Structure 1
Amino acid sequence: MVRKILLVGILLVSYCNAFGQKDTLREIQLRKLFWDNPTEKWKATDIPGKWDNESAVILAKETNYWVKKQAIISVLEEKYHTHKRIKVLDDNAVTAYSQFTFGETENRGYNSIFLSNSVSYYYGIKLIKPDGREELIDNSEEVREEVSHRRSQVGYNKIAIPNLEKGDIIDFYYCVEKKFAMNAFYVFDPIRYFINDNYPIVHQELTVELARRCYLNCKSVNGAPELQEDSTGGDKRVFTYRMIDQDRDKLEIQGWSYPYAELPCIKFQAFNSAPAFTAVPAYADFWGDLQKKKSDVNLKGVIGLSKTIQNPGYGVYYSSLKKYIKDKYGKKAMVKPELIVNDAYFFLREFWCQQPLFMEAQNGGSWYNFNMNKLVGAMSRLLRYYEIEHDILFMVPKSLAKESDLLFIDELRVGLHVKCSDKPIFITDLNLNSFPNLISDYFRGVKAYAVPILAENPNVKEIEIPLGKRGKVDIDIQSELSLDYENSKLEIVSEFNISGLAKQQWDSVVLNRAVYHREFKSAEYGEYIEDRGKRKDLDAYRNFQEKLAIQLEEGDKLRLKKMEKQLEYFFGINQPKVLEFELISSGRWFENEDLKFRLKWETGEPLVSAGENLFLSIGKFSKRGINKADLEKDRHLDIHFDGSNTISHEIKIKIPETYKLSGLENLSSHFEDENFKMNCIVDTTAGDSKVRFEQEIKSNHLDKSEWNNVVSFFDRCKDMNEKQLLIQLENN
């Protein structure tokens, strides 16, 4: 009996330690695991001759992932270990590896042997000098920092690598270990293991080990090697898969690319089956059989996903929405579906947009984070009530994967397809300024899985999202430029007209909390949103309004600073000063869908003195060029441009009467090919001097074989940025 009590006591101490934060025992265990008794590949120092000119070479890389149940108690362990041995060959690599960043251990929920939910991070770093000496990096020198993430502060640790020199080898491991109480069906985070790295790899291995009550979804994409079953371990309680790869060239991530969709990658995700009497998710068909690798998608799982979207939890605003629509159109009214869809969309957008403001006035009223799932859930319930045919859509964004490579639930985005009297409406996006039928570029032309909601026994079908129409001009700017000769600066009044998807680049700068507050249609929505008990405490409400007025005024001042940053980014003009801002149209409503505003601003940078004369860098007012170094690299990924396709900027130049403008005749130019267009048009009629810059990218998506043409186009843009005019005295 004493022996049994002693054994139980030892187990209690052991498990309580296991559930705590980082402990010395675990650190020692991992150090021995990775560094004691190394095999030959972990002793390697030589690199293949073909990589002598690289910045660094990864001599060995091993990644181990496993999900297992701890003995005796019902606790799941998920572990992800990475071990690398890297030879540093030049100063760029010395800089790149001079500092490491690691996550911070945290515990969630209870810490006991009965229930735990925690995540711990461990690491070890050592340097191997050319003469064989080893230097262990002391983790007591790490520095803790914080960043803002999703309305909270998240901590992380940084550690410097002193005395790192060319020719050194860095041997480091990084471990993430999680523990979960085994009381539910667990869907673990999906993992993407990219086969290439920023540096060449001599030898790499990936091992996945899962407990016998686990499922595994796994797929190799874009030419990545397969994860093969390994039965050599002989342990029937786990099933193991392994990938071994050698002599893998580097493949750096490049700008204007979708690396998740194009780089060679092994995607995998583990699931652990639930204990008895635990509900299994409705979308369980998305994975396969226990202890078997599954690489395709069972579309029954998509039907199950659609059922979760229709659950009341995703329709938290439904009661308010239904009351608003019924009051406007009546019960079971014979109304065009597009009217109900558009009104419902804008109502929910405004509910989400305005609710944080009104909840502050309601003394701690609950506020729900909104997303596409909740919008689609609420709208689908309303459409079912009015018996309007519609499909819930599941789409794979172009940036994440090809449709044929779908594997993870988290690769799917939800949308809505409604059959209307004129043409169908596709809802694919939701933000503070979005429209029901404005399709994000990530979804244009992709195939979506559609689940018909009114059908008794729905079957999944495929629907192609339309490409949508492009406007003639996405960003149109009209500017009047005046010369302040005495102060060597330009005074500029610019009116911006921005349409379509191009608005997304500017909305967060132009539209602030004050705009949303002032544009709220109280007569339309107030009864259903604004008046939800906010005046129960009149004194509190008055205090809120006073604070809000101050916040809105501060927001308007902050907008001027943000606008200066945006002008600097857009034109490449350093330190512009915005003096005045006027919003003409927010572009948030069907009455006027374009974002329009007027700026008064000044800058001195485009002016260079030349005695009594001035050089005006007029090309600075075309869209800024691209860094030459970014265009000199070889291209191995397709090219994907975000944002506007067409930019037009007309500048009317006003100078003092005693001066004249020279060089206008040298500005006129025209270039156009299959993918790009660029014009500079000069107009001197009616005594005015006007210059119009036009740039157009005809397609947002180009094959990598077009890279030389892309470089040529941006070289032309860069040349245009450098165009100058001479402002000189009339008698010179």
Structure 2
Amino acid sequence: MRTKLVLLFFFAIIGLSNAQDAKEAREFFWGAKDEFKKANSIPDKWKNESAVIIHKREHYNYHKFGKSVTYISGIRKRIMLLDQAAVTEFSQFSYKNKFYTNRAYGGKKGTNYIGVKIIKPNGKEIEIDTEKEAKEVDGEKKLAIPNLEIGDIIDYYFYSVEPFKSVFDYTFEAVETPLGDVYPTMDLKITLDTENDFFINFNTYNDAPNLKEIPTKSSGERSYELTEKDIPKNEFPRWFYPLAEMPCYKFQVIFARSGKFEKLADGFLSEKERDIKKTVSKEDIFDYYNKKFVPFGDIDDIKDFLKGKTFASEDDKIREVYYFTRHQFYTRYIEAFVVNEAKMFYPFEYYGYDPIFFNTEVQFVNYFMQFLRKNDISYDVIVATPRYDGSIDDLLIQFNVKKLIRVNTKNPVYLEYFSPFSSADQFNYNIENSKAYVLEVSKGKRITDASTVQLPSSTYKENCVKTKTVMTLDDFTGFKVKKESSYLGHLKEGEQSDKLNFYDYVYEDYKKYGTKPLLDYVKNKKKNEQYTNEMNALINKMKDSQKEEFEKSLESELDFLVDDYTFKLNNTGRYGKKSAFEIEEDFAIKNNLIKKAGDKYLIELGKMLTSQIEIDQKEKDRKNNIYSIYPRSYENEIILNIPAGYSVSGLEKFNKKVENETGGFTSTAEVKGNQLIVKTYKHYKNYFEPNSNWNKMIDFLDAAYQFTQEKVLLKKN
């Protein structure tokens, strides 16, 4: 009985706490201090917009009490809806009411609170009872907003309370976002509250207003705000990096209870917690990574691997060591993670005491520093930030930094932290062609200085995909198709990730390096047989699922249904930048691409190029610059086997050529023997194009799209 009473008391306390938080959330946004409760009009200049944000408020609060830390975040928007698209967008909200926070070591249940009210044109307010009206669907709350109409104002907020325990240091997720929204904003306020032991990195960019400190009653508390009015709507077109050009802000809060934990903190801290850190200097970079990057690790495994081996060059030796360590400290354990996730058995005990698995960039860098130092090979450590995040001159958030090893051989070899598909000489395309810091290493041991460097670029010829598609008519109602594809460069990485399962590359590595599969460690015959059967069943299930996924992916590319799909892997392309990822796909196209016209057949051959970008009028009026992921090219060969007794016409429309400094599209068509051979080549030359070059890009993009609309006529001789 006593236990029951204690539990009842406990849940009553939680209920009171939640009710208090809900009340505080409502009061915070809609209470007596709400300056916008009567704001019901918008300027004439925005009356033709889909919607207008009358007021937007973002709030962040970081608070501690003893070992307990509470993170509160909230957003409120008061929006006038001016067309049906806006009404439809705000007619339903989806959110999670409760969530488990795993921050630090003492995560607790967090709670989200939502408030919604509608203000009709006559001024009548209708507040939604969100607790009563929200319905649970697939673990989420769904809240429908009834009777929403054009001309209404919707005023809503989300308020999240996330408690946890921490006695050490903790780095909160960074916030990096444009100032504007997809709708024009009349008034914006961002508020940030912290206290002692919380360090703030905060800055604004591209002409956004500065953050201002607001006086507080307590010396241990700090409050800041950023305000702006009359913000135009943001356009987010394809191939655009908003943070590189738009007014924006970035910030991160780091919690550290003492000087000891300040030194361990995962970020660039100001000297004093009261000071906001706005910039990161070369000296900051040096100081932070000089502590992080130290040669470390037992390289006996590499020594064993290198015994008796000779290499054509030092470069080749470095590459082979990279691929070996990728297996030894990464892919060798992937099978175990799969087994553990499938709950077959606990696999990690079979690898001996304290197996080494690299799961951070720092582990990787330190280990390779050790190998290179022990072998008297010159190297540097490079830190860079993605191009989509702006220049490294504006670096603020440590999490954004990517780390590389540059081995200073005759032809420098760049190495980055492993993925199952990573290649020596190739690194994250987001930091290619960007300014970076070089952390110079003295005598292979310590970082002694930091300087800047422009990282290498890749070319559209290196990042390429080549396809060969052979089509054979099937009773004049469809086609049997064989498609061979070969991928290189960054186009290879994405396809490998999408199309390779663990058994495709883990077992390949076992064979290459002579290491034992996990099940070979299981000596008990009965258990081995059981686990083998379970593993085979799992792999067969994954293959069936994979086939279904690939078929759907192909249909999405072609924009029509396919049938009788089969897939074959010819080369994983995992052991070198110049080794292609190669696959074959066989499938049938039924009742598509072919139309009978008397004794003739019209074939929509252009659609076999797969979907191309169609630039509509809205996109043609682009105002932003163009940021491409990387230079790239697509080479296609489409072969149509012409049935005996037939010939083709209409080839002139398949001969196109548009080329300029931004890229190009060319296509040719000719008949050789009993085959129609169509070749296309499309390429993007650069990482960046000024807006003034947009029309030049449209020229070849339109040519490629028009190709997909072309047809050939098949007729009897």
Decide: shared fold, TM above 0.5.
yes
**CA distance in structure 1 between the partners assigned to 2:364 and 2:14 by the alignment:** 39
The match for 1:637 is: 624
Match of residue 120 from structure 2: 129
Q: Letter of the aligned partner of 1:181 in structure 2?
A: K
Q: Equivalences for 1:98-497 in 2 at 5 Å?
A: 98-107=91-100, 117-139=108-130, 140-144=132-136, 156-181=140-165, 183-231=167-215, 233-275=216-258, 278=261, 280-281=263-264, 286-306=269-289, 309-310=292-293, 319=298, 322-329=299-306, 337-351=314-328, 352-358=330-336, 360=339, 363-365=346-348, 370-420=359-409, 422-428=410-416, 430-453=418-441, 454-456=444-446, 458-471=448-461, 474-486=464-476, 488-497=477-486
2:5 corresponds in structure 1 to: none
Read off the aligned partner of 2:152 and give its amino acid letter: D
Which one of 678, 681, 692 corresponds to residue 694 of structure 1?
A: 681
- AA aligned to 1:219 is N
Q: Is the 8 A contact 1:509 1:563 kept in 2?
A: no
The 1:256–1:26 alpha-carbon spacing in structure 2 relative to 1, beyond 3 Å, is: same
Aligned residue in 1 for 2:81? 88
What amino acid sits opposite 2:76 in the alignment? H
SS where residue 292 of structure 1 aligns? coil
Residue type matched to 2:470 in 1? E
In structure 2, the partner of 1:9 is: none
**Structure 1 residues 598 and 462: CA distance shift in structure 2, 3 A:** same
Cα distance between partner residues in 2 of 1:449 and 1:14: 57
Q: Given residue 79 of structure 2, which amino acid in structure 1 is its aligned partner?
A: I
How far apart, in 1, do the equivalents of 2:363 and 2:446 lie?
Answer: 23
Quote the sequence identity (%). Answer: 23
Unaligned runs of 5+ residues in structure 1 are: 1-12, 147-154
Kindly indicate whether residue 605 of structure 2 is the aligned counterpart of residue 618 of structure 1: yes
- After superposition, what is the alpha-carbon deviation per residue over 1:660-717, rounded to whole angstroms, capped at 9, x for unaligned? 2121233222221111211121222445321112212222432233222233322222
8 Å CA contact 1:452–1:460 kept in 2: the answer is yes
User: Partner of 1:580 in structure 2?
Assistant: 566
Q: 2:61 aligns with which of 50, 57, 66?
A: 66
The one-letter code sitting in structure 2 at the alignment partner of 1:511 is L
> Is this contact kept in 2: 1:282–1:308, CA < 8 A?
no
Q: For the structure 1 residues 543 and 418, does the alpha-carbon distance in structure 2 shift closer, same or farther, using more than 3 Å as the test?
A: same
Map 1:560-571 onto structure 2 (within 5 A). 560-570=547-557
Query: How far apart, CA to CA, are the structure 2 residues paired with 1:170 and 1:555?
Result: 46
- The alpha carbon displacement at 1:644 in A equals 6.9
SS of equivalent residue, structure 1 residue 458: strand
Cα drift, residue 607 of structure 1: 1.3
Tell me by how many angstroms 1:234 deviates: 4.4
- 1:168, distance to aligned residue in structure 2 (A): 1.0
Q: CA offset at residue 635 of structure 1?
A: 2.5
- The residue type paired with residue 219 of structure 2 is K
Alignment match, 1:524: 513
User: Which letter maps to 2:127?
Assistant: L
1:46 has 2:41 as partner:
yes
1:705 partner letter: S
Q: 1:100 to 1:496 in 2, by over 3 A?
A: same
The Cα of 1:177 is off from its aligned counterpart by: 2.2
Per-residue deviation at 1:161? 1.5
- What is the DSSP-based 3-state SS (H/G/I as helix, E as strand, rest coil) of the residue aligned with 2:521? coil
The SS at the match of 1:520 is helix
Correspondence for 1:713: 700
Tell me, in whole angstroms, the C-alpha distance in 1 between the residues paired with 2:261 and 2:229.
44
Deviation at 1:631, TM superposition (A): 5.6
For 2:448, what is the secondary structure of its paired residue? coil
Distance 2:70 2:246 in 1: 30
Return 297-306 or 716-725, whichever deviates more.
Answer: 297-306
Moved more, 678-687 or 39-48: 678-687
Distance 1:110 1:404 in 2: 30
Q: Is the 8 A contact 2:638 2:678 kept in 1?
A: yes
Q: Name the CA distance, whole Å, in 2 between partners of 1:45 and 1:418.
A: 63
Give the match for residue 3 of structure 2.
none
Tell me, yes or no, if the aligned pair for 1:128 and 1:168 is still in contact at 8 Å. yes
How far apart are the structure 2 equivalents of 1:559 and 1:581?
9
Q: Could you say which residue in structure 2 is the equivalent of 1:5? A: none
Residues 185 and 370 (structure 1), Cα distance of their counterparts in 2 relative to 1, 3 Å cut: closer
Kept after mapping to 2: 8 A contact 1:215/1:288: no
Q: Is the 8 A contact 1:622 1:721 kept in 2?
A: yes
Deviation sequence 1:457-492 (CA, Å, 0-9, x none): 612222322113553771212222111234x10112
Q: 1:650 aligns with which of 637, 661, 675?
A: 637
Q: 1:685 to 1:69 in 2, by over 3 A?
A: closer
User: In 2, distance between residues paired with 1:276 and 1:644?
Assistant: 46
Inter-partner Cα distance in structure 2 for 1:326 and 1:554 = 39
Which deviations, in whole Å up to 9, do the C-alpha atoms of 1:49-100 show, x marking residues without a partner? 0001011111111222222334xx4533332222221111110001111122
Q: Which SS does the other structure have where 2:643 is aligned?
A: coil
3-state SS, counterpart of residue 719 of structure 1: helix
What is the CA–CA distance in structure 2 between the aligned matches of 1:116 and 1:699, rounded to whole Å? 46
Report the CA distance shift for 1:32/1:495 in structure 2 as closer, same or farther (over 3 A): closer
Name 1:151's counterpart in structure 2. none
Distance in 1 between residues matched to 2:556 and 2:318, nearest whole Å: 38
For the structure 1 residues 328 and 75, does the alpha-carbon distance in structure 2 shift closer, same or farther, using more than 3 Å as the test? closer
**Within 2, Cα distance between the matches of 1:713 and 1:285?**
45
1:527-572: per-residue Cα shift (whole Å, max 9, x none)?
A: xx647982343332332222222333333333333332333333x3
How much has 1:16 moved relative to structure 2?
Answer: 9.3
Aligned residue for 1:31?
26
Q: Say whether the 8 Å CA contact 1:645–1:700 is kept in structure 2.
A: no
SS at match of 1:203: strand
1:609 paired with 2:599, answer: no
Structure 2 residues without counterparts, runs of 5 or longer: 1-7, 350-354
1:352-397 C-alpha deviation (Å, 9 max, x unpaired): 2241314638733169573433332332232233343322221101
- Alignment TM-score, normalising by the size of structure 2: 0.88
Check the 8 A contact 1:226/1:266 in 2, yes or no. Answer: no
Shift, 1:581, TM fit:
2.7
Instruction: Note if contact 1:505-1:643 (Cα within 8 Å) is conserved in structure 2.
Output: no
Letter matched to residue 333 of structure 2:
Q
State the Cα distance separating 1:188 from its structure 2 match. Answer: 2.5
- 1:497 and 1:597 in contact (8 A); partners too: yes
Q: Secondary structure at the match of 1:378?
A: helix
Alignment CA distance shift 1:280-1:668 (3 Å): closer
Report SS of the residue matched to 2:348.
coil
Q: How far apart are 1:201 and its partner, in Å? A: 0.8
Flag the 1:223–1:577 CA change in 2: closer, same or farther, 3 A.
farther
